[in-house]
């Protein structure tokens, strides 16, 4: 089944998963609010990550594929940090995207996100001489179609003359054009060439002011990644948690990036949440740890339901790697808003060497890993001065002192949540109250992620059924199972309402319950109905949730 993004977005809004931020004021681009069901779903994604990576980790067991046993712990660090953190991390100087403006519409675009095709025309028109090769661009979600319509409009041709267009390339991004070619591009929403400006660098960090004085020295930044909060606390964790190498420190928290063109629902937002691990290890074993973490993180998504060919692990080409990195792989998912064959990043697993710890110790490093500490800023202060603190590790067994290497699995909680929503969205058929097959929309979310685990219904609103159903509802809630209750409408309709929000099980109290003390439990995916004694219900659901 090919999935339609519009239907998914509409369900998310209609059933209270996701809303546009500040919607009553017309919204604000790149910001999203999670509704009553969305907040449960995203919390379940975060909880699954924290449980599986941090709290459930057994430091005495060597997991399959791991070079040794290891320890895991967590931190929660502040969003605003000392500005020097971002100088040493490289974000102050390098965390930039290239942007172009359209001089006519005043719209701003990320250089690599504008896509288009070289085209000429074999038919002279009043608008344009034939044979002039121009680059027609589009920012549409379906650029293939849009570029054709736009090229026809630019050449002043009716659709029946589409065969007069001569295409010279498939869709390519604007940043593939040379400086000489850029003036021959037609920007989105205009019909003339030459309205794009030269590309310029744009730093993605949000600036803010700390304190009441508001001077330039009080400028600070909202963190663009949670990772740096872990690096600057490396020594604190080492000294207080009594951990020994190898160990990992996890953090979940908000990050902020002033994305030039936020798009594709929550995929590219300006405020989003990250789930990051910095795994510290000996340089000699770091290649094996890199391998371990890329396989483990890929398996995590698969276990939670992202299956088959839609999920891939893409190893970066050597020329894509930072100078300090010996490997980076992305876990990618074929989101329905992407053209066929394209994937969007869910998580990057990077071998970061000793770059971050050394930068925070010695000052920012150059491409040869030499500190840049001696360069001065406009106030005569060292530009990239490190903390000067010793962030090395001393191994008291081998008596070796060294700067640990780092493997960084860095995931996005919102992107993972969106991928789970897209994967779960299914349209199929199920019998209605009369046993006739009817179309249904069902979210086949993994039970661990489902916002509501079970719905409890009395078959009818009399004969003591509501009272029994409410007691079951109460008992399950008390046992920590998130359940809902409904007594309105035909039972088939109630099933469908729950299917649409991904509730794995519906529990019905019926006419037999008073005599057999049992209820019918219906499975969302198999539609199978089984009779379960009320006394066993809580443990049965808890077992199913742990399966």
- Output the residue with the shortest Cβ distance to ligand GAP: 412
- Asked whether 55 and 250 are in contact (CB, 8 A), the reply is no
| Closer by beta carbon to ligand GAP, 189 or else 345 | 345
Spell out the residues 6+ positions from residue 470 whose beta carbon is closer than 8 angstroms to its own. 456, 485
Q: Which is nearer to ligand GAP, 347 or 499 (CB)?
A: 347
Q: Do the Cβ atoms of 400 and 392 come closer than 8 Å?
A: no
- Please classify residue 170 by burial: count the beta carbons closer than 10 Å to its beta carbon, then call 0-12 exposed, 13-18 middle and 19+ buried: exposed
Residue 494 sits in the site that holds ligand GAP (CB under 6 A)? no
Does position 274 interact with ligand GAP (CB under 6 A)? The reply is: yes
Q: Which is nearer to ligand GAP, 227 or 455 (CB)?
A: 227
Which one of the spans 145-153, 308-316, 404-412, 476-484 is the region binding ligand GAP (CB under 6 A)? Answer: 404-412
Identify which of residues 289 and 457 has a Cβ nearer to ligand GAP in the complex: 289
Q: Least distance in Å: CB of 239 to ligand GAP?
A: 24
Whichever of 147 and 350 has its CB closer to ligand GAP, that residue is 350
Residue placing its CB nearer to ligand GAP in the complex, 40 or 414: 414
246 binds ligand GAP (CB under 6 A): no
Closest of 344, 204, 267 to residue 32, by C-alpha: 267
- Interaction of residue 415 with ligand GAP, rule CB under 6 A: yes
Cα-to-chain-centroid distance, residue 171: 25
The alpha carbon torsion through 528, 534, 538, 543 (nearest 10 deg) reads -40
Binding flag, residue 410, ligand GAP (CB under 6 A): yes
DSSP state at residue 2: P
**Candidates 149-157, 241-249, 407-415, 503-511; binding stretch for ligand GAP (CB under 6 A):** 407-415
347 makes contact with ligand GAP (CB under 6 A): yes
Beta-sheet pairing, 32-34 with 518-523:
unpaired
Establish if 414 lies at the interface with ligand GAP (CB under 6 A): yes
Shortest Cβ 350–ligand GAP spacing (Å): 7
Other Cβ atoms less than 10 A from the Cβ of 362: the count is 21
Q: Judged by CB under 6 A, which of 259, 332, 354, 499 binds ligand GAP? A: 259
Residue of 93, 345, 428, 475 interacting with ligand GAP (CB under 6 A): 345
Binding residue for ligand GAP, selected from 188, 250, 348, 353, defined by CB under 6 A: 348
Contact between 225 and ligand GAP by CB under 6 A: the answer reads yes
Q: In whole angstroms, what is the distance from residue 433 CA to residue 431 CA? A: 7
Nearer to ligand GAP, 231 or 384 (CB): 231
DSSP 309: G
Residue 146 interacting with ligand GAP (CB under 6 A): no
CB of residue 428 vs ligand GAP: minimum separation in angstroms? 30
Instruction: Establish if 346 lies at the interface with ligand GAP (CB under 6 A).
Output: yes
CB of 95 to ligand GAP, least distance (A): 9
Residue 91 touches ligand GAP, criterion: CB under 6 A: no
194 or 305: whose CB is closer to ligand GAP? 305
Does position 451 bind ligand GAP by CB under 6 A?
no
Largest CA distance in the chain: 86
- What is the separation of C-alpha 334 from the centre of its chain, rounded to a whole number of angstroms? 13
Residue among 70, 135, 221, 272 that touches ligand GAP (CB under 6 A) = 272
Q: Which of these segments, 60-68, 118-126, 173-181, 344-352, binds ligand GAP (CB under 6 A)?
A: 344-352
- How far CA 407 is from CA of 57, 229, 303, 325, in Å, comes to 17, 15, 22, 10
Q: Which residues of 411-441 are buried (b: 16+ CB within 10 A; e: fewer)?
A: bbbbbbbbbbbbbbbeeeeeebeeeeeeebb
The answer to whether the beta carbons of residues 205 and 86 sit under 8 Å apart is yes
160 burial type by CB count under 10 A (0-12 exposed, 13-18 middle, 19+ buried): exposed
Q: In this chain, which of 386, 412, 447, 504 binds ligand GAP, going by CB under 6 A?
A: 412
Using CA atoms, how far residue 445 sits from 5, 52, 425, 462, 543, in Å, is 17, 18, 8, 33, 17
Applying CB under 6 A, does 268 fall inside the site for ligand GAP?
Answer: yes
Closest CA to 338 of 201, 124, 143: 143
Query: Could you list the residues that contact ligand GAP (CB under 6 A)?
Result: 225, 227, 257, 259, 268-269, 272, 274, 276, 345-348, 408, 410-412, 414-415
């Amino acid at each position: 089944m090919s999935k339609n993004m519009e239907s998914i977005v509409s369900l998310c809004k209609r059933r209270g998963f996701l809303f546009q931020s500040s919607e009553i004021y017309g919204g604000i681009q790149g910001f999203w609010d999670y509704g009553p069901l969305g907040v449960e779903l995203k919390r379940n994604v975060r909880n699954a990550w924290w449980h599986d990576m941090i709290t459930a980790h057994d430091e005495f067991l060597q997991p399959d594929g791991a070079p040794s046993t290891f320890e895991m712990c967590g931190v929660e660090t502040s969003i605003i940090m000392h500005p020097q953190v971002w100088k040493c991390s490289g974000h102050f100087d390098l965390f930039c995207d290239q942007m172009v403006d359209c001089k006519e519409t005043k719209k701003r675009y990320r250089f690599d996100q504008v896509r288009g095709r070289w085209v000429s025309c074999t038919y002279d028109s009043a608008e344009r001489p034939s044979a002039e090769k121009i680059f027609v661009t589009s920012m549409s979600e379906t650029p293939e179609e849009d570029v054709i319509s736009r090229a026809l409009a630019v050449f002043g041709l009716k659709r029946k003359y589409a065969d007069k267009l001569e295409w010279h390339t498939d869709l390519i991004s604007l940043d593939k054009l040379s400086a000489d070619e850029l003036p021959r591009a037609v920007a989105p929403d205009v019909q003339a060439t030459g309205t794009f400006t030269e590309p310029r660098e744009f730093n993605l960090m949000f600036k803010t002011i700390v304190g009441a004085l508001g001077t330039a020295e009080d400028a600070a930044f909202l963190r663009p990644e949670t990772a740096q909060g872990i690096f600057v606390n490396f020594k604190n964790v080492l000294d207080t948690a009594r951990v020994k190498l190898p160990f990992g420190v996890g953090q979940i928290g908000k990050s902020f990036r002033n994305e030039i063109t936020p798009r594709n629902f929550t995929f590219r937002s300006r405020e989003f949440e990250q789930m990051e691990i910095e795994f510290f290890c000996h340089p000699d074993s770091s290649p094996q740890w890199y391998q371990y973490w890329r396989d483990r993180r890929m398996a995590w998504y698969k276990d939670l339901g992202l299956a088959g060919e839609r999920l891939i692990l893409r190893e970066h080409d050597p020329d894509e790697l930072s100078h300090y990195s010996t490997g980076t792989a992305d876990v990618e998912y074929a989101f329905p808003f992407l053209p066929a064959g394209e994937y969007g990043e869910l998580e990057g697993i990077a071998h970061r060497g000793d770059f971050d710890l050394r930068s925070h110790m010695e000052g920012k490093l150059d491409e040869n890993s030499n500190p840049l500490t001696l360069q001065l800023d406009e106030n005569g202060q060292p530009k990239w001065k490190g903390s000067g603190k010793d962030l090395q590790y001393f191994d008291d067994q081998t008596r070796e002192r060294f700067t640990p290497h780092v493997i960084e699995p860095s995931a996005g909680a919102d992107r993972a949540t969106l991928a789970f929503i897209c994967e779960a969205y299914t349209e199929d058929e199920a019998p209605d109250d009369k046993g006739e097959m009817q179309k249904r929309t069902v979210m086949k979310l993994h039970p661990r992620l489902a916002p509501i685990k079970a719905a409890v219904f009395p078959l009818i609103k009399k004969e003591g059924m509501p009272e029994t159903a409410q007691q079951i509802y109460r008992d399950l809630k008390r046992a920590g199972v998130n359940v809902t209750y409904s007594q309105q409408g035909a039972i088939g309709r109630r099933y469908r309402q729950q299917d649409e929000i991904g509730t794995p099980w519906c529990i019905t109290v019926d006419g037999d319950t008073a005599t057999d003390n049992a209820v019918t439990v219906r499975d969302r995916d198999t539609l199978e109905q089984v009779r379960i004694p009320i006394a066993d219900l809580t443990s049965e659901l808890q077992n199913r949730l742990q399966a």
